[in-house]
Amino acid sequence: MVNNLNSFHLIQTCPHSKARAGELLTPHGAVPTPVFLPVGSQGAIKTLTPEEVKALGLAMVLANTYHLYLRPGISVIEKLGGLHKFMGWDRAILTDSGGYQIFSLAPLRQVSDEGVTFRSHIDGSQHHITPELIIQFQETLGADIIMALDECPASDDSLEQVNRAMERTHRWAERCQKAQKRRDQALYAIVQGGIFPQLRRQSVEYLTSLEFPGYAIGGLSIGEPKKVTLAMIEETVALLPENKPRYLMGVGSPEDIIEAVARGIDMFDSALPTRVARNGALFTWQGRRNIGNAAYSQMEQPIVPGCDCYACRNFSAAYLHHLFGCDELLAYRLATIHNLSFITNLMAKIRDAIQDGTFLSFKDNFLSNYQPADEQIRLSQKQKWLKRRNLSP
């Protein structure tokens, strides 16, 4: 049994969609859902202090076991009092198992049923990871929610390849469950199955039989078209238990979030809002805007009039345009504050709309005004980013 300090309960469901509002109870506070988790892979949200992250209203962040294992090392964080103390964050933390990062290192790793042997993308040193070790690491770090080790196949893998990865993910999930000793952490399993509906259904059926306290959907938004992503979400959610949280991994575009909420997703994480911020792409209610465009060079208003984030309250779009043009470090901080504020505000509006029965009209209004990034450009940029992130020395 999981400690009652790590539980989930529904507050309201939308009668005309699968959208739902709820609350995660964790040892480090309550987290209202649907919720977006900013990514702090190295134990920090890039460019921001923990106090700034809290001031944005964020109740939970994600840190990555793979990155923290490589540096500074799990034992260092343990010696310094655990991950919450180490990173100066007293609210909830979810740690990813690092499975996605490991399997993105295709030329640098070997997979067997026992585990994964891989070479560090930092210094080339060799490491061997097993499901049992991943649980041991996460228990030492002390996150509120921890993830089972999974094998994430590529979006273009064959049915046979995806099936093998899925079956290995199932075996590893069982081993993770058996290895867990701490009962104040909620261990989530990760549903795999690629873009094959029958495998997605098979994965859900197997993992739900093991009675995990929460379920993540992995292996999506890694190169497949959006319509395929949404179809796989629907296939998966249809079989997931209603009384447990549903976590869609790696999705952070506003339009994708609202579509996934409509299909019953409770939790999201992605580096996208902070990554695009550092490249000068700022979220508005009409879509992303490139602050580097000449149109903003003399704009007296903030990038989003009426936005209550620190950047928009205090600075003009022209000032942000100037900062990016000069490569000033403040540019990245202000843009990150704005994008995370936008996403946090969006999640609050979604929760309010679900609870007052107006979610569908809110969704339709949002999507009719929001212009998403071109899909082919988006996919191309994501592939370049993944390659650069995972294979760069």
**Angle 329-355/317-325 helices, nearest 10 degrees?**
140
The answer to whether residues 321 and 296 touch, using CB atoms and an 8 Å cutoff, is yes
CA 242 distance to own-chain centroid: 21
Q: Would you tell me how many other CB atoms lie within 10 Å of the CB of residue 298?
A: 10
Question: Do residues 56 and 346 lie in contact, with contact meaning Cβ atoms separated by under 8 Å?
Answer: no
Distance CA 351, CA 48 (A): 25
Task: Using DSSP bridges, classify how beta strands 109-111 and 116-119 pair: parallel, antiparallel or unpaired.
Answer: antiparallel
The residues carrying an active-site annotation are 96, 269
Q: Alpha helices of the chain — where are they, by DSSP H?
A: 50-55, 65-70, 74-79, 83-87, 99-104, 131-141, 159-179, 197-208, 226-237, 254-262, 272-278, 310-314, 317-325, 329-355, 359-369, 375-391
CB-based contacts of 220, cutoff 8 Å, min separation 6: 229, 232, 233, 248, 249, 250, 251
For the beta sheet containing 145-147, the strands, ordered from the edge strand earlier in sequence to the opposite edge, are 35-38, 267-270, 246-248, 214-217, 186-191, 145-147, 92-96, 60-64
Cβ atoms of 36 and 252 within 8 Å: the answer is yes
Q: Rounded to an integer, what distance in angstroms lies between the CA atom of residue 306 and that of residue 230?
A: 32
How many other C-beta atoms are found inside a 10 Å radius of the C-beta of residue 87? 20
Q: 3-state SS of the chain: helix, strand, coil percent to 5?
A: 45, 20, 35
